[in-house]
Amino acid sequence: MSEEQLKFLSLQDARRIVAAIQEEEDIQNPDKRILTIYNHEDRELCWFDYDELVEAVGPVAKGELKEAVQDYILHHIPDWAMDI
């Protein structure tokens, strides 16, 4: 069984299809937060675990965290999101 390499959209394509990044409560674990990504038709494209995302972004000034998280997300939208 071979594992597929996850591919991401270009920044230009991600900006074109992403309409909103919404912070939400994880339904299965109310103590966790997730960031759900929506397209212009209000369809869910994908989601990110908030804690894992902040860890992946790394240390940034508190005032720059929102922008850093948004930038990270836009660079990590899976290519299959174009099919949604």
Q: Where are the domains of the chain?
A: 11-83
The whole-number pLDDT of residue 1 equals 39
The per-residue pLDDT for 66 is: 93
pLDDT digits (tens, 9 = 90+) for 6-53: 899 999 999 999 999 999 988 888 889 999 999 999 999 999 999 999
69 C-beta neighbours (distance < 10 Å), count: 20
pLDDT at 2 over 50: no
pLDDT above 80 (res 80): yes
Residues of the chain by 3-state class (helix, strand, coil), percent to 5: 40, 30, 30
pTM of the shown model: 0.88
